[in-house]
Every structure is written in structure tokens, then in C-alpha cells.
DNA sequence: ATTTGTGAACAGTTTCACAGCG
DNA sequence: CGCTGTGAAACTGTTCACAAAT
């Protein structure tokens, strides 16, 4: 089984999201093209790489397809622990955000350099001063970090996160983070997103 | 001058971000490789497509390179007006976010279906009930929308935004939005980002 | 001397068109 | 018989290697 190309995987992530709210029992590549905008040929090539043969003449069985996607995307094993680094307005907005309810991702800790904030804020998981970052991440086996700090703190913290073995960083800052290739970065800052749109990109 | 490939443009957006905080006067393709992780060959090919010849033997002149990037990315003309749709916790966090200060993007309006919220919240730009969406967007010539509503409202609002001519949507919801190809979408939800990282993607 | 810019080779991705399957 | 799955072709993007530039 050959490795799945990167552009395929990005679409498969979105396909999993799409199926999460799809109510019919089956779905055709043509229908996916109408919803998501990728050509039916691309959809069939993407799905065929999952090596499930869960559909012909009636389209794919949604349940089987979604299971195969979850398996490919590592969403069917145990929970993935995450932490929020930076508890300013953006970090606080994510504190009690329900988006991760019923997903394999769980926020297990929050960090901020202001002890004032870590003591005053209330959340369902413990908040710690940033000095504890390395200890807690290793102890709790945290795999992903959500970076919502001020721009000047972003690169130093990214470096610390990478060196304690974090697999991926969701980067809410507009900075380009410099980390070893073992740590993946997903850039989701408002400014970066707007610049991307302004360049005529996005689907 | 041929069209610039999509993967190149995505890197050029990040290169612009990188240069925004770069303090030396010149930068080499080799240095960019060290920081951003793209190969020096890819960097040279990307930059050569800008048709500025702003460097040899000492690397690129940072000022010239950044100006060319801004021009390519449409960041040097007039201001781009944006609106926030959905003033829940995430929308409120973006209300007085300083990230767009000193950029060509300006938030010109906020919308929420709860009149309670649009009347109580304070911000530097006017807040309106969602019923006013189409009117205000046309009146104010708003080009981009930041979508921070509850998941069940996401698709209907995306369709309304697309049909009143919005060029791009920054999608903070985990839904796959179905819009005509004239409206671009940039997906920045926490869940989508975490799934992408879990699939082993990102830089 | 060092680094860009670029043809040419290579690698990856998408599209086409249709055989094969339920 | 409509729809998937897939070779083969077409296209897009990356790497190599070196001539040109300063």
C-alpha cells in the first residue's frame, strides 16, 4: 500500500468533517463534488487509496467510509491530549469551547506566563504557569499544543514545545514558526488566513 | 508572465509573514530554508516568479522582496473591509484583537442573530443583527467574512455571504462549507487543524 | 566567492476514459 | 446500468546542476 499524497490527505480530513454531518446512508463521488468542489475523479482516487471497497452503483456507504477515514486520520485509537499555551482572549475563548466534545482530542492543560491568570481563570482542566510547561507535557503525555500567545513569545515557546516532543502545534499567531520537521505546524491565524484569501487561494 | 502555482503562493504568503519580523537587510534562500523548512531550490523558484531581481551574491534585499510580495498578495492597494459573523466567545475574542493593526485588513462590522449581544457588546466598529447582513455588506463594500457562528448556522450563513458577493470566508467552524467557486474558504477551526496534524500533515 | 535564476530531468498529482462490479 | 476503481496520458510542481550576475 503506497503512501497517500499530501493533497489527498488534506481533502480526506475535510471529507471526514463533511461526513460528520451527512445524514444519508450513502454518498456518491458526484455528490461530494457538488458539496465540496473537488472533481468526482479526484474524490474517487482519494477514496480508493483507503482500500475499502464500500460502494458501487449506489455510491459509498457513509458509515464504512467514515470509519476508514477515522482510522487513516488516527481518530479511532486512544484520546489525544492537547494543551493551550497562552490564556489571553483567544486562549480563554478556547477554554470552554465545545468543539472538541465527542472527538478523540482532549485539552488536558493550560499555560500562561501570568500566574494571576492561571489562578483566577476557571476551567475543566488544570492551569499552570509556563515554567511548568516541560514537566506537565511529559508527565501527562501531551501530544498537541494550541499556541495563543503574544507574537514576541511565539517562537521561543514553539522551540520549547518542539524540544519536549510535541507532535504538532496549532498556531494562532501570525508568526512563521521555526521548528524541527518532527513537529508539524498548522497555521490558523486570522491575518495569515486573510492574506491567503487575498492572494486568491483557498477552496 | 505565467500564473503562479498554488503551493508557491501559499509559501509566499508565509514568506511575507516571515519577513515582517526579519531584521537583517538581506536574506538568502539558504537562510529561508533554515527558518521555514522549504528547500532553498523551492524558495528560489518561488521568488523568481515575482520577476524582481533584487539580489545576487548577498541574497535578496528584504525591503524589495517584501514589497513585491505585498503587491502579489494584494496587500499594497486600498484597505480590505472584513466583517465578523457570530459574536459568541470566539467572535468576541476577535473583536478587539490587535492582529490586524497596521495591515490592509480592517473589520468594518459585526453581526449576530441575538440583538441582545449586538446592543450590549462594545467595539470600535458597528454591530448589527444578522438580518442586516446583505444590506451592510453591499453598502460598506465588505469583501471578507470571518465566520464564528454555531455549527448549525454555518452553512446557511456561508450561502448568504457567498450570494452577496463576499470574496472569501475565514471559517472558524469545523463544517465544510459549500459555496460557489467565486467565494474562497480558508478553514481555520481548531478541530480541523488538530485532525490535519493527527494525519501527519502541516509543515 | 557566493548566491541567484533557470533549462532540463524528475517526481507527484489530476484528468480521462472505460473495464468491471454490485 | 450507474457508479466505482484504475491504467495511461496529461499536467503541475520540485530538484538538480550550472551559467550568469555582482
Q: Averaged over A78-82, what is the pLDDT?
A: 97
Q: Does A159 touch chain B (CB under 8 A)?
A: no
- Per-position DSSP letters for B2-61, written without gaps between them: PPPPHHHHHHHHHHHHHHHT--SSEE-HHHHHHHH-S-HHHHHHHHHTTT----SSS-EE
Nearest to B202 among A90, A168, A198 (CB): A168
Residue B199 near residue A73, CB atoms below 8 Å = yes
| pLDDT per residue as tens digits for the range A25-38 | 999 999 999 999 99
| pLDDT per residue as tens digits for the range A95-150 | 988 999 999 999 999 999 999 999 999 999 999 999 999 999 999 999 999 999 99
Instruction: Find, among A139, A161, A142, the residue nearest to A86 by Cα.
Output: A161
Q: Is the CB of B54 under 7 A from strand C?
A: yes
A99-134 burial code (b ≥16 CB/10 A, e <16): bbeebbbebbbbbbbeeebbeeeebeeebbebeebe
Q: Round and report the angstrom distance from CA (B2) to C1' (C9).
A: 21
Q: What is the pTM of this model?
A: 0.97
Q: Is the CB of B201 under 7 A from strand C?
A: no
Q: Round and report the angstrom distance from CA (A62) to C1' (C13).
A: 26
| pLDDT per residue as tens digits for the range B121-165 | 999 999 999 999 999 999 999 999 999 999 999 999 999 999 999
The confidence band for B1, taking pLDDT boundaries of 50, 70 and 90, is low
Rounded CA-CA distance A100/A95 in Å is 11
CA distance B135 to chain A (A): 22
Please, which residues have CB within 8 angstroms of residue A15's CB and are 6 or more apart in sequence? A32, A36, A43, A46, A47, A65, A69, B176
Amino acid at each position: 500500500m503506497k503512501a497517500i499524497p499530501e493533497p489527498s490527505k488534506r481533502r480526506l480530513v475535510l471529507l471526514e468533517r463533511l461526513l460528520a454531518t451527512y445524514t444519508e446512508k450513502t454518498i456518491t463521488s458526484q455528490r461530494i463534488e457538488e458539496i465540496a468542489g473537488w472533481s468526482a475523479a479526484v474524490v474517487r482516487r482519494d477514496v480508493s487509496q483507503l482500500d475499502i471497497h464500500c460502494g458501487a452503483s449506489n455510491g459509498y456507504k457513509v458509515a464504512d467510509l467514515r470509519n476508514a477515514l477515522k482510522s487513516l486520520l488516527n481518530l479511532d485509537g486512544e484520546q489525544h491530549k492537547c494543551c493551550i499555551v497562552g490564556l489571553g482572549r483567544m486562549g480563554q475563548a478556547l477554554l470552554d469551547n465545545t468543539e472538541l466534545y465527542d472527538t478523540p482530542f482532549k485539552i488536558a492543560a493550560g499555560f500562561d506566563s501570568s500566574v494571576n491568570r492561571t489562578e483566577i481563570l476557571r476551567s475543566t482542566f488544570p492551569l499552570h504557569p509556563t515554567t511548568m510547561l516541560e514537566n506537565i507535557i511529559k508527565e501527562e503525555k501531551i501530544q498537541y499544543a494550541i499556541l495563543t500567545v503574544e507574537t514576541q513569545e511565539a517562537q521561543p515557546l514553539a522551540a520549547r514545545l518542539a524540544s519536549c516532543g510535541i507532535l504538532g502545534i496549532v498556531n494562532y499567531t501570525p508568526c512563521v514558526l521555526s521548528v524541527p520537521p518532527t513537529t508539524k505546524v498548522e497555521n490558523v491565524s486570522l491575518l495569515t488566513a486573510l492574506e491567503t484569501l487575498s492572494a486568491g487561494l483557498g477552496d
